[in-house]
Chain A
Amino acid sequence: MPQALAQRTVDARSRRRARGLPPEASILMVLIGLALTFELLGWILVRQSFLLNEQRLVIMILQVSVIGIIAVGVTQVIITGGIDLSSGSVVAVTAMVAASLAQSSDAVRAVYPSLTDLPVLVPVMAGLAVGAAAGVLNGTLIAYTSIPPFIATLGVMVSARGIAKWYTHGQPVSMLTDAYADIGGGAVPVMIFLAAALIFHIALRYTRYGKFTYAIGANPQAARISGINVAGHLIVVYTIAGTLSGLAGIVTSARAVSGQAGMGMMYELDAIAAAVIGGASLSGGIGRITGTVIGTLILGVVTSGFTFLRIDAYYQEIVKGAIIVAAVIADQYRHRAGGKRA
């Protein structure tokens, strides 16, 4: 090695970077901007206020709270540098299994005729267990074989959908108990979503679990050398994501008061979109639950805004796709500029 080493200069960028603004500020601006746009268009096109309608706002959040619950788990998976495509199918399996254990004695052809009118805790625990099992499977495949998360969860996605259909040979499961239906009633799904978001926001920011999750996503090799049990931790993260998908399945079936094998179709993509719009980076190490919550609300505003303006659902999807891509492009610019983590 030559001794003539040039003096390195500290990156000048770091000194002139803006301080204090949390990374969510920019997405929050997008959310507000979108809401105001719909407000304005509302007065022009349909002569109504978009925001000053409590009922609409509640419905809007209700619609996206299931996606939000999934997105809280998916965000954590994305922070580890992974992806979970199985969430939508896990929603379906969970909905079927939980609903089958939540049937009332009035059900004509119950799945388990001897197991009706069970306490609500039974279907709930069963549903969470199904979700957790799917997560363990995802995590184990990813941690102990060298297949990429995309493939592992794609396989589970396809198989889980098959299991959901096989479970009752495609028959929907209906006539559920009132106690079970209450889980999906009123603002309960919104509460569940916000509770999940709060818990995992705290977990990611203030616990060792969170520190390890970011470290693994930022550099799995360095994480391993630092003495982190990377394989074990990944299984935990995927299990949490699976369990939250299970919870989403319970809420979905409770809201519909039935379990159907087609439930949760494409939910995984909406959840990934919410996380990515919220600033999670698919290359790992970056992402926050607060961002994901805002990302989820953006999806909600777009959906209900288009409905409010009575614009075709087709346009809705086109715009949603554009927003996702725009979010990632904006994100890359932000990271290229060398952001700072708070």
Chain B
Amino acid sequence: MHSLATDVPDGCFLQVSHLGKAFPGVVALDDVSLRVKRGTVHALIGENGAGKSTLMKIIAGIYTPDAGELRLRGAAVHLSSPRQALRNGIAMIHQELNLMPFMSVAENIWIGREPMNACGLISHRELRRRTRALFERFGVDIDPQAEVRTLSIARRQMIEIAKALSHESELLIMDEPTSALTEKDAEHLFAIIRELRAQGKSILYITHKMDELFEIADEVSVLRDGRYIGTASPLDLTRDELIRMMVGRELSQIFPSAPARPGAVVLSARDLTLEPHFYGIGFDLHAGEILGIAGLIGAGRSQLAEALFGLTPASSGRVWIEGCEVKLDSPQTARSRGMAFVTEDRKETGCFLRLSVLENLEIAVLEGDFVRCGFVRRRAVTQACAAMSRLLGVKTPDLHERIENLSGGNQQKVLLGRWLLTRPKILILDEPTRGVDVGAKAEIHQLITRLVAEGAAVLMISSEMPEILGMSHRIMVMHEGRVTGILAREQADQVKIMDLAAR
């Protein structure tokens, strides 16, 4: 089925070799090589954080690699901006579409390249004609004059594709294009992709969904932990083999093991639903237990956590805490019921960056014994915070240091400390060690284990397989807003989790 390109003998449009890219604290890509042939759909898969996005962004000229080279049609190129990539025939269709909602379809496609009339003004007639001609090329029927905001996500995506084609792009990078589409729209998209392939375009297709991959991909490459694992034809692979390629790492990291002595049920949820994030979620969380929540990005895990904590309450469903039914409609309620929540985004929703370590620690506990007639009992609070800071081993010159000046790991410890001061019964931890260095990570793991041993119940969302497997007593796997399975620690392994997470 591969159309034979003329310019390069092996029909290879894009070839990347030995790409490397590091961000502060993280090696995102390590020695990755890949070839994309002309007239093929090349799928790229991997877990969260496997390096897919980084690789794509390098190919699209958004990032420049630290090492390695890119070859287009056999010639080495250096892409320093998306504009340059576009000029070289590479277009990226972003997950979050980049269209201007209040402008027309035609204006969006040709922005910056509008055809002029004799007076030097934009010729709208020519603009419409070109847009129609473009749409005809792949059989789409959209009114060029429609305002983009009036169109569905699926149609906007087609406009993005048309825009890419208007640049005569040879390679289209699609980042999870079906994530916001209905099944019918996805079918239509696949038809368009097949049409483009028949016209000799190459498509680099990033996805989480296995089924899609078997449906449209000619080749599939797997990334894991920033490294290239292999490329194969979906025809030669089973689903299981693919999952093994995605997760087949050695679990060498040692985790502190919390004794499995689950006590009574402290938090119990039934039929929790919040469209379009999650549907019919039910689980029981026991005292002295870590319940891990695994899943891919977009599975609705964080939204579930936010709903439980009352930030964006679920639209239906019931929750019991220690046997009493509760209505978790605000964080105040959740806190007063003994819940605590450390969010996934430390900077956006966790730290008060401009305030001191002390002010960051004390904020959730300013009540009861620590406040008299509205006045904060400074000495008592400071003592409690200093003790907590010592307990957690926060590395800071003193409590009056601005939290901004601390490392990620220490900031995370402070946020944990903020909630531990409230003596919570139920801790919800969303990615508790994201962006934290190895040392602090181990300390945080130990701390969680100790809390659980003391009888706290922990709900831990994590995208890191080793963390989920190493820490949890049970693992709840979510996929597209639904629970696809709850595994006991003994039965859980990477393959089973990935199988449930990527239906």
Q: Which residues of A contact B (CB under 8 A)?
A: 1-11, 13-15, 206-209, 211-212, 214-215, 218-219, 221-229, 281, 284-286, 335, 338-342
Q: Which label, helix, strand, loop or mixed, suits the secondary structure of the A interface?
A: loop
Q: Which residue of B lies closest to A209 (CB)?
A: B374
Does any Cβ of A come within 8 Å of B309's Cβ? Answer: yes
B113: chain A residues within 8 A (beta carbon): none
Candidates B28, B354, B407, B438; contact of A218 at CB < 8 Å: B354
Q: List 22 A-B contacts (CB under 8 A).
A: A3-B438, A4-B26, A4-B27, A5-B25, A8-B408, A11-B405, A13-B405, A14-B401, A14-B402, A206-B375, A208-B366, A211-B366, A211-B376, A212-B363, A214-B359, A219-B352, A219-B353, A222-B349, A225-B350, A226-B418, A229-B332, A338-B405
Contact B356 A10 (CB under 8 A): no
Choose from A2, A14, A211 the contact partner of B397 (Cβ within 8 Å): A14
Could you tell me if A1 and B49 are in contact, using CB atoms closer than 8 angstroms?
Answer: yes
Looking across the interface, which residue of chain A has its beta carbon closest to that of B440? A8
Asked if B65 is at the interface of the complex by the 8 Å CB criterion, the answer is no
A338, B409: Cα distance in complex, Å: 19
Chain B residues whose C-beta falls within 8 Å of the C-beta of A227 in the assembled complex: 331-332, 334-336, 364
Task: Indicate the member of B352, B353, B406, B418 with the most A CB atoms within 10 Å.
Answer: B352
Q: Is the CB of B359 within 8 A of A208?
A: no
How many Å from the CB of A52 to the closest CB on chain B? 40
Interface 0/1 of B363-385, CB less than 8 Å to A? 11011000100111010000000
Distance of A7 Cα from B410 Cα, bound (Å): 12
Residues of chain B contacted by A339 (CB below 8 angstroms): 402
A341 pairs with B402, CB closer than 8 A: yes
B229 within 8 A of A: no
Contact B225 A1 (CB under 8 A): yes
Chain B residues in 8 Å Cβ range of A7: 437-439
Once the chains are docked, how many angstroms separate the CA of A8 from the CA of B440? 10
Residues of B within 8 A of A228 (CB): 332, 363
Contact of A225 among B309, B354, B374 (CB under 8 A): B309
Q: List residues of chain B with CB within 8 A of the CB of A281.
A: 354
Instruction: Determine the chain A residues whose CB is within 8 A of the CB of B26 once the complex forms.
Output: 1-2, 4-6
Q: Is the CB of B405 within 8 A of A14?
A: yes
Which residues of B are found within 8 Å of A229, using beta-carbon distances? 330, 332
Residues A225 and B311 in contact, CB atoms below 8 Å apart: yes
List of A residues within 8 angstroms of B22 by Cβ: 6
Interfacial residues of chain B within 329-360, with CB under 8 A of chain A in the complex: 330-332, 334-336, 341, 343, 348-356, 359
User: Does B362 make an interface contact (CB < 8 A)?
Assistant: yes
Q: Cβ of B363 and Cβ of A8 under 8 Å apart?
A: no
List B315-334 residues whose CB lies under 8 Å from chain A.
330-332, 334
Judged by a CB distance under 8 angstroms, whether B400 is at the interface is yes
Closest residue of chain A to B22 (Cβ to Cβ) is A6
A11 partner residues in chain B, CB cutoff 8 A: 405-406
